[in-house]
Amino acid sequence: MEGIHKAIELGYSPVKVNCVVMRGLNEDELLDFVALTEGLPLDVRFIEYMPFDGNKWNFRKMVSYKEMLDTIQQQWPELEKLPEEESSTAKAFKIPGFQGQISFITSMSEHFCGTCNRLRITADGNLKVCLFGNSEVSLRDHLRAGASEEELLRIIGAAVGRKKRQHAELFLMLQDSPPANSSLAPWDPLDVQGLRPRVSFSSWMMTLWKGCRVSQTPPLAQQWLGSGSPQRHYSSHMDSETNSKCLSPVSQAPAAPSGSLPTSHQLTHLDSEGRAAMVDVGKKPDTERMAVASALVLLGPVAFKLIQQNQLKKGDALVVAQLAGVQAAKLTSQLIPLCHHVTLSHIQVQLELDSTRHAVVIQASCRARGPTGVEMEALTSAAVAALTLYDMCKAVSRDIVLGDIKLISKTGGQRGDFRRA
């Protein structure tokens, strides 16, 4: 308290006091914190308990914004809502006659990521677009490499473009019964359009934030979770275009009839004498190629729960598998002997938790312009992501099943488009 009083004495305004409210720990002190604002010009900010890495988050410990507000209004029914900016991350209230105010950070029950415009630079020079997320972009390395201001703007713009609509695509349903319908429909990544450097960094960033359009919440993330734990959904993509207009596998693939492609009458990787040989694609025209593949990892209830709550000792299995899938797509020609090296312009790996089967559904998509397809890159990406999940979880269970690795769709090439029925 001495530090708080000293800050007020020195003229700091506002002086913010953050309080993470946890059931069974400090929720009984809620009204005491509010009472501090009667005689002190403080902004006491109540933060919903969030599942950060290593904090052993438990749904039952979380006290929602609505519950806290109801408790406070019972004591002070005259509590007034204060106006707030569109990009505000806090809901502010004030009790008439009190010097200070209270605020709520509704990170879990009423997410605000779609309008949040906060950026953070860490002490070691990394950019974070979300305090909650693990993702960081090293500006330090680019600066040391001599990156120009325009290049830095593009890097920052791409990072902002990958910002999620809500925390790690995590959605918590605070209701009494499950929704009637839910599905595993694919999710369109967010779309950032027309990013161009402006006269100054600050004006460019303002234009960037105003221009961001965030996708709708993926249907899987809206499923009711009977276990009471939050759903986790990870999506990662690498795009060669610096302004990162991210492409969805479904939205980018032209409509094509279901069924098999026209097939060749002979195996193309065998020569006239039956020996393995790489196909000569030198005379084939360059066309836009895209492929989407999937895999399924049946974890079992124990490993599934640990992944869902991010409690594996090895770390975040979904993030590691996601990165492995991206890396595998880029290295396919080194893993599959007769594959051509393909310069990929886009890679996306999505992992979704399926609580009904205690499984992880993996979807990988690859895109390139060239004389040969990218089916193998997408299949390798999905398969290696699945293998990585097994590696991350094998200490917990060796009864994990990897399967259902298949091509979902492909576009481009002489044999036409394909979409699995």
DSSP string, 129-188: S-SS----EEHHHHHHTT--HHHHHHHHHHHHHT--SSGGG-----SSS--S-------P
Structure tokens at 62: 């979380």
Q: In this structure, are residues 3 and 12 in contact, taking their beta carbons and an 8 Å threshold?
A: no
CB hemisphere CA count around 34 (13 angstroms): 23
In sequence order, what DSSP letters do the residues of 239-291 get, joined into one string? ESSTT-----HHHHSPP--BSPPP--SS-TTB-TTS-B-----TTSPPEEEEE
- 43 φ, ψ (degrees, to nearest 5): -110, 100
Query: Cα(186)–Cα(358) distance, rounded to whole angstroms?
Result: 19
CB 368 within 8 A of CB 329: no
Measured between alpha carbons, how far is 413 from 211 in angstroms, rounded to an integer? 35
For residue 354, the one-letter residue type is D
Give which of 215, 371, 373, 238 is closest to 293, Cα–Cα: 373
Distance (Å) of CA 353 to CA 11, 222, 327: 49, 12, 21
Catalytic residue set: 391
Going by DSSP bridges, is the β-strand pair 359-370/401-411 parallel, antiparallel, or unpaired? Answer: unpaired
CA-wise closest residue to 368 among 412, 322, 326, 334: 412
DSSP 3-state percent helix, strand, coil across the chain (nearest 5): 30, 25, 50
